Amino acid sequence: MAIERISESEYAVIEPLWDKAPLTAVEIADRVAKDNDWTLQTVKTLLSRLVAKGAVAFETQGRRYLYRPLIARNDHAVAESRRLLDRLFAGRVSPLVAQLAKRDALSEDDIAEIEALLKELRA
């Protein structure tokens, strides 16, 4: 039941499905076109790879193929984040935050948000 690893390009293709599903390949390609310059063929290839990986399913409605995601955006994001934390920060979050802080990669707003978050957690 582990989440199948999906590539960056595949991610770009599943993303529209997280905003709205189901969608056809053409609809997905249209939405993806804002950020990427792929042909429809490329989007279809990525879709079929996502289907092969069990990350996306389709149902055929007559001639239309309607795609929908099988994994949740947040599940993917968390899985990837854990991978990174494990690899680079011994699995812990605070060293990551510390490094980013040291590089001035944390705005005042970021800090305030995280603090509010944590305060709520221990409430």
Partner DNA sequence: GATTTATGTTTACATGCGTAGTTGGATAGG
Partner DNA sequence: CCTATCCAACTACGCATGTAAACATAAATC
Interface residues with DNA (CB under 7 A) are 5, 7-10, 24-26, 36-39, 41-42, 44-46, 48-49, 51, 58, 62-65, 67
CA distance 69 to 44: 15
Residue 48 interacts with, from DNA, its own copies, none (CB under 5-8 Å by kind): DNA
CA distance 46 to 117: 36
Contacting residues for 120 by C-beta, under 8 A, at least 6 apart? none
- In the numeric block, which tokens belong to residue 106? 């944390």
Q: Which residues bind its own copies (CB under 8 A)?
A: 8, 11, 74, 76-78, 80-82, 84, 87-89, 92-94, 96-103, 105-106, 110-111, 113-115, 117-118, 121-122
